Amino acid sequence: MPLTLPALTLPAATARFEIAMEDGPKVRVRRYGNPNGTRLLVSHGNGFAVDAYVPFWQQFLASYDVVIFDFRNHGLSDRSPVKNHVYYQLARDLDHVADGVEAELGKRTTVAVMHSFSSRTAMKHAIEIGWRWAGLVLYDPPNVPPPSHPVYAQMEEFENRLVKYAGGRRRTFNSVDELTQELKESRATARWVEGMHDLMARSVLRKDEGAETWSLVCSPEVETAIYAEALKLNLWPKPADFGGPVKLVGCDPDMKGAPATGLANRALGTENGYDYEAVPNTGHLQQIERPDACADILTAFLVKHRLTKA
């Protein structure tokens, strides 16, 4: 049965399948929407899960072939050791996912729609492994400029703060409601759309086998590893480094209390000549703060590049 919340419905998938990664863990993929439309391959940010982005991606179900997946150590997908949870491996995982989706559902015009660490993964994949999309839309990737850049210090502080936060996260809960309440009490989640706190809690927790407790699918160690690696990626590319059209969507760099990613993406976008846009009044979780505005940006990109039909 669909999961119905005050403002949200998680629809029933029309297809579900698993794709084995090269070192064993399985990534779980689901298909929704119009199988005859342009394919949108959608994923999530570090420590989250793609189900929780339903306020955003459900807006495309009438016209698009929406395929969603959780990266390893997230959501419905398998866990794997921390040593394998690095951007190098995640970029290879994305390539395996692209292959697996084509093998299961057939080849189709595909636009990759990523957020945060999955955006950075998609950037690394496209530049170092190969371009295989009709378009790439990057929502607030935590781009870190070179150390000489004026914004570097702010991104360094941002990532180090996240390392400290993630490393101290509570990992086990007596109920989903406990995490829901924690999320509701956080200032960082105050802009989330109604119903999101409960859906997010259900999306990032997994029932412990043989126990009455629930644990984070993405452990603090795994979440921390990605934040810690961000400063070492040396990934500050130009649009010409990709093989096709790219849209860079940042959070609001001028909003009080906005994360440093807003400043970093504005710098990358304006200095390197991207098709760049910031979503007003949003922090890093922009797709679940202002899903309609984020959907409008994706729609405009698809129209601009004539990607509305497969």
Q: What would the pLDDT profile of 223-246 be if each residue is shown by its tens digit?
A: 999 999 999 999 999 999 999 999
For a pLDDT cut of 90, what percent of the chain falls above it?
A: 91
User: Which residues in 149-274 belong to E strands, given as ranges?
Assistant: 172-173, 205-207, 214-216, 246-250
What is the value of pTM for the model shown? 0.95
Residue-wise pLDDT for 179-223, tens only, equals 999 999 988 898 999 889 999 999 999 999 999 999 999 999 999
Number of H helices, E strands in the chain: 10, 13
How many whole angstroms separate alpha carbon 76 and alpha carbon 267? 35
- β partners of residue 68: 30, 42
Q: What is the pLDDT of residues 3-27, one digit of tens each?
A: 444 456 789 999 999 999 999 999 9
Orientation of helix 176-184 relative to helix 196-204, angle to 10° = 130
pLDDT digit string (tens) for 144-181? Answer: 999 999 999 999 999 999 999 999 899 999 999 999 99
* Domain residue limits, the chain: 3-304
pLDDT value for 3 = 45
pLDDT value of residue 309: 84
- Predicted pLDDT at 1: 36
pLDDT tens digits, one per residue of 41-97: 999 999 999 999 999 999 999 999 999 999 999 999 999 999 999 999 999 999 999
3 state DSSP class of 299: helix
The CATH superfamily assigned to 3-304 is Alpha/Beta hydrolase fold, catalytic domain (3.40.50.1820)
pLDDT band at 310 (very low <50, low <70, confident <90, very high): confident
For range 115-119, the mean pLDDT: 98
Neighbours of 234 (CB within 10 A): 9
Residue 193 · residue 7 · CB < 8 Å: yes
